[in-house]
A = this chain, B = another copy of it.
Amino acid sequence: MKKNKLTLKDVALQLGVSTATISNAFNRPDQLSAAKREEILSACKRIGYSGPNKAAQILRKGHSSIVALVLADNIEYMVSDPVASMFIKGVSSVLQDAGKHLLLYAGNAESVSEIVDFVDGFICYGAPENPVLGQELNQQDKPVVTVDFDLGDWPSVNIDNEAAAYQIAKHAIRAGDDVAILGLKLIDSPTTCRVYDSPLLDTATAISHRRLDGYKRAMKEKGCKINNELIWHIPESRGNYSRQAAKEVLSISPRPHTILCMSDIIALELLQCALSMEVDVPQTLRITGFDGIDEAKRTRPQLTTVSQSSTDKGKCAAELFLSFSKESVVLPFTIFEGETG
């Protein structure tokens, strides 16, 4: 089944027309008669020529229909996160309809120069772990759309994280509660730990800090003390990191009345832990999540959480990308009143 790939030139020779005519038949129907075009196209199909070589087209035309989706972290982690998955789902549905191809690119990679020459642009989901990527993206001129963070003058898609955190906290906290916070990527540490006096990260994780701000505003209004010993840093939602934090916070005496979690995965681990310790949720312990993943609604008791549509976020980002709009977008969220807080 070796078949030496036909080139446009071969085909032109075989059909006795010029290469330009073949090229036009495929790319610019207005440049020849419909009849001739049909004739050429069907002849091509017959002899097994499926159109101009794409690699050559990319070089010649300067675009490829490939869009890079730059993830915050390594692809591996991102793909297994339900929130990121839903985002990718939204992006891909829009791109697919537009005939674009989706290339996944890791935010901890060396340099976008590996791909910048053959993609048509970038959608960045979260600030790339490697800050070099952000700089490079700012210094090239293929379009970029950022999500959940801002980068130079490129348009972005966000929700109002401060307001969302404020509202969910306001909903769950009872006046004077002891409140603990299980935060995501608050400081620069690869391990689960309490924040204490560590300097807070900023650029890379603006979103966590907006949420923290919201929580604190609500806590103040409810007359709760803010105590850095009750704020945890969790490097990743998945795996043991959340479980460790859950165990630590539940073993404190006196136990906090309300625990605000910066992701549903964290909250679900905590909930599982609390239930297995026979803690009464929500009577003696209230728990809130963030994101509104399917599992949070499928599990019993249902999690009280901030519901944001990651799928819509993905669609929005892709549409923004395709439209070349320069306008950033702020997407809505809702509070899902579950049974945990």
Contacts and interface: CB of A to CB of B under 8 A. Distances in A.
A299 B300 CA distance: 9
Contact of A58 (B2, B58, B105): B58
Contacts of A92: 74-76, 79, 104, 106
A105 B118 CA distance: 17
A46 interface: no
A139 B3 contact: yes
Which of A50, A76, A139 gathers the greatest number of chain B CB atoms within 10 Å? A76
A114 B3 contact: no
A252 interface: no
B118 A54 contact: yes
A79 B74 contact: no
A134 to B, nearest CB: 14
B101 A102 contact: no
Contacts of A77: 89
Nearest to A61: B55
Contact of A105 (B56, B64, B86, B101): B101
Given A79-B89, A85-B79, A117 B298 contact: no
A80 interface: yes
B102 A104 contact: yes
Given A55-B118, A66-B103, A74-B96, A141 B3 contact: yes
B64 A113 contact: no
Nearest to A50: B113
A88 interface: yes
A53 interface: yes
Contacts of A58: 55, 58-59, 118
Given A55-B118, A58-B118, A113-B50, A86 B80 contact: yes
24 contacts: A1-B138, A1-B139, A2-B141, A3-B140, A3-B141, A50-B111, A51-B113, A55-B59, A55-B117, A56-B59, A56-B117, A58-B58, A66-B103, A75-B102, A76-B89, A79-B89, A79-B92, A80-B89, A82-B82, A101-B105, A102-B103, A118-B118, A275-B300, A299-B299
Given A51-B113, A275-B300, 15 more contacts: A1-B141, A54-B114, A54-B118, A55-B55, A55-B118, A59-B59, A75-B89, A76-B89, A76-B92, A76-B96, A80-B89, A92-B104, A101-B103, A102-B103, A104-B104
Interface of A: 1-3, 50-51, 53-56, 58-59, 62, 64, 66, 74-77, 79-80, 82, 85-86, 88-90, 92-93, 96, 101-106, 109, 111, 113-118, 138-141, 268, 272, 275, 295, 298-300
Nearest first, the 3 closest Cβ-Cβ pairs linking A and B are A54-B117, A75-B92, A50-B113
